[in-house]
Structure 1
């Protein structure tokens, strides 16, 4: 077995691992990256990019279906060619993966080690049966994988995860989606709009990542207008028969229903890939799920020489967060023992459903947990159903809630479902990161007619409730009609 002595060893070659490698190399020459699977990152291969390609195809169909609302009537039946849809998804997906691989190819061959690493102790790794690595510092950036209940394995190849969807050559006839989270909502709605029969089941009443009960109730109602969604389903039986899966469940009216579907899509969460690292051989403190705990500003674990980043950290499993965490972890591993807090940006997340869902800063649940039952914050709201630009585009569905602190008037966060929520969320995230007050945000320019005017309406409602401004005027003269 070959033995290497290195300054920094990075376990994992995804978004966080690549970021950690580049950051560590700025301080140390002797850095290696260990990867047992394919390079290309979860985002490029099976995550955010291929899912957006499927969503884009679904949106094209939806625009045609909405055209009669404008007095435009497409002639003939809409033909959805599933093979052509999936061919484009895979071709473009491969292009995105190729961009990542180009960056990997630039890394010197001697810095890349193929295989799966396991800990021997705090500073020693064994990669498969061929390399022993003595590392002064180690970064864990092993990512995550889909997780589902073990009994579902009896469904065989009729059980799929999001990874499998993007390898389809054609679209199936029907799919039951379990898990109305980010992945389930995006893929489920897209498949429905592309002609696939979709039913969706959840547990505990959760819809997407939302925590605000008002916004969540709106989302539940809106999705149910397109397909059957029970966020707190009672599924009594799920068995495979031939090439289909038969499901018996109690519907929302209390009646027993039976359906047969081609596939069951498990969108029931992801598990950090740390369970096969033999981390029990280290001194790291672990959380209840067996994941190493880490300082969110330095990414340092309880063992000073070990850092963790990306989905493996069990913090925010988002690409931009993984990239930031990787840079912070790699920088600190490279400059050790000169540990420094890295830039952590205001939280921002989005679900690319239609309408989109987005969350910024502190969530409703985080605020109420932190402040308890005291009347220390207020909520401003706007409905997009009557908002001018949204109605012009026939995209007038959604609700936006913004939260502000009593006394200071500081903007705390927001949860929303609405048109262009991804763009509204960016504006609000910039305001949150700059610690702006509601009054300061209202001093910013708003054009007319734009969807962003809805943000101003919500902010004015909030400012009035904080007793920092006048009550909202129903027909404001400094705004255009329908703002």
Structure 2
């Protein structure tokens, strides 16, 4: 067995792990990167990249059949599902070199393609290598959670790790789980010509503000996706040679749904089972590795970042964590996680995006808040593009400091960037009201919402009296 003594050992070559390894190598720090699966992790191979490529193809098909409002005759899209999936694969292939073994080796990272496990508090075994590093960073991500549904072990089912390998269009896709992954894939497959049913035990897109999710759910249902909320999956069984029958229960009783394919999209679980965390003295539970706000584990030599920590499970969070850990590892700088500045987006159509406190959270933590809204329908660019469904919702404290922002509508995922910056810099609505937005753009929607903060001021008798007095001076 070969012993390695790098300064840093990174376990997991997803977004967070790659960022740590690349940054360390850039400063000339000896670093070993261990990955048991595919370089790039879930985001590149099974998550963000393929799903957005599929959504883009579905959007193209949808636009072709919805041009009547612009005076353009609708054209029925002829979907070649195999070619759609080739587009998905080509998108992954175009990005993959950035995350490849070859690139990271060229950067100076020693890449070991084996499974890693701790044998004690300061040693990791990976294949024929024994690694004793000054510091370890665990960035092993998460995997699809497969719930204990009766009969599931006897049927073929898909997860986000297998659905993008399909080359035949599902005739009827049944999606168990109405979270972001489930709803994004449900709408995309419907637009590509599949019948789609979503079964959700609670409320679809339930982690976002219901005032905003209503826009997305209304549109998704209008496009033909059958969204069943507050519905339990009682069991599944085979139907014919390749189909599936899903038994459900809701307030009206028990019934069954027949489909051609079954997608399980009921959440994620951390990839910790094979790591030997107990031998390393690293505390963990079913949600993941327990870390401090500095992302340090109970073993002072070990940090953990990204999905494996059980917090917000987004690629950009892993990248954010990587930056904090690099500051601590290389420069001994104190860097604490601040979840209030983390945005997220759901790429349904319309999109939903959020950063900071929700209205409900703000009411619990602040004595007085202001809720500022502005609809897409009052925006000139949205009217020109016939994308008038949606609104922006700002939450401020009594002094006008921005506490949170939520957007439902076209380009919400792009527009939330501005508000993420505003929160990170602790800006107020006065700051937003003072900047100039190009016309016509949808970003004006946010500025108009911010300006409504001053509406009450215009009605105050004292302010009006001052204006009257000043007018007399010419």
Unaligned segments of structure 2, at least 5 residues: 461-474
Deviation at 1:54, TM superposition (A): 0.7
Instruction: List structure 1 runs of 4+ shifted beyond 4 angstroms.
Output: 342-345, 467-471
**CA distance 1:157–1:132, shift in 2 (3 Å):** farther
Larger deviation, residues 383-392 vs 350-359: 383-392
Residue in 1 that maps onto 2:359: 364
**CA distance 1:153–1:134, shift in 2 (3 Å):** farther
Match of 1:325 among 321, 329, 333: 321
Query: CA deviation digits over 1:254-298, x for unaligned, max 9?
Result: 265432111111111111112221211233333x535222233x3
Deviation at 1:79, TM superposition (A): 1.3
Deviation at 1:17, TM superposition (A): 1.1
Residue in 2 that maps onto 1:351: 346
**CA distance 1:28–1:306, shift in 2 (3 Å):** farther
State whether structure 2 residue 53 is matched by structure 1 residue 53: yes
Q: Secondary structure at the match of 2:201?
A: coil
Residue in 2 that maps onto 1:302: 298
d(CA) in 2 for partners of 1:326, 1:157: 39
d(CA) in 1 for partners of 2:31, 2:328: 13
Deviation at 1:343, TM superposition (A): 8.2
Deviation at 1:74, TM superposition (A): 3.9
Equivalent residues of 2:359, 2:371 under 8 A apart: no
d(CA) in 2 for partners of 1:444, 1:469: 20
Query: CA deviation digits over 1:310-343, x for unaligned, max 9?
Result: 22122222222212212332443345xx353168
Deviation at 1:412, TM superposition (A): 0.7
Residue in 2 that maps onto 1:451: 442
d(CA) in 2 for partners of 1:191, 1:427: 31
d(CA) in 1 for partners of 2:14, 2:246: 37
Q: Which structure exhibits the higher relative contact order, with contacts defined as CA atoms closer than 8 Å and separated by 6 or more residues?
A: 1
Equivalent residues of 1:243, 1:262 under 8 A apart: yes
Equivalent residues of 1:21, 1:31 under 8 A apart: yes
TM-score, structure 2 normalization: 0.88
**C-alpha RMSD of the superposition:** 2.5
Match of 2:212 among 212, 215, 225: 215
Q: Secondary structure at the match of 2:132?
A: strand
Deviation at 1:63, TM superposition (A): 1.0
d(CA) in 1 for partners of 2:148, 2:365: 36
d(CA) in 2 for partners of 1:21, 1:456: 40
Q: Secondary structure at the match of 2:292?
A: coil
Residue in 2 that maps onto 1:285: 283
Deviation at 1:364, TM superposition (A): 3.2
Q: Secondary structure at the match of 1:357?
A: strand
Residue in 2 that maps onto 1:125: 124
**CA distance 1:95–1:146, shift in 2 (3 Å):** same
d(CA) in 2 for partners of 1:141, 1:153: 33
d(CA) in 2 for partners of 1:357, 1:154: 32
Q: Secondary structure at the match of 1:303?
A: coil
Q: Secondary structure at the match of 1:166?
A: helix
State whether structure 2 residue 35 is matched by structure 1 residue 44: no
d(CA) in 2 for partners of 1:148, 1:385: 41
Match of 1:340 among 316, 319, 334: 334
**CA distance 1:63–1:37, shift in 2 (3 Å):** same
TM-score, structure 1 normalization: 0.87
Q: Secondary structure at the match of 2:152?
A: helix
State whether structure 2 residue 427 is matched by structure 1 residue 436: yes
d(CA) in 2 for partners of 1:139, 1:74: 53
Unaligned segments of structure 1, at least 5 residues: 472-483
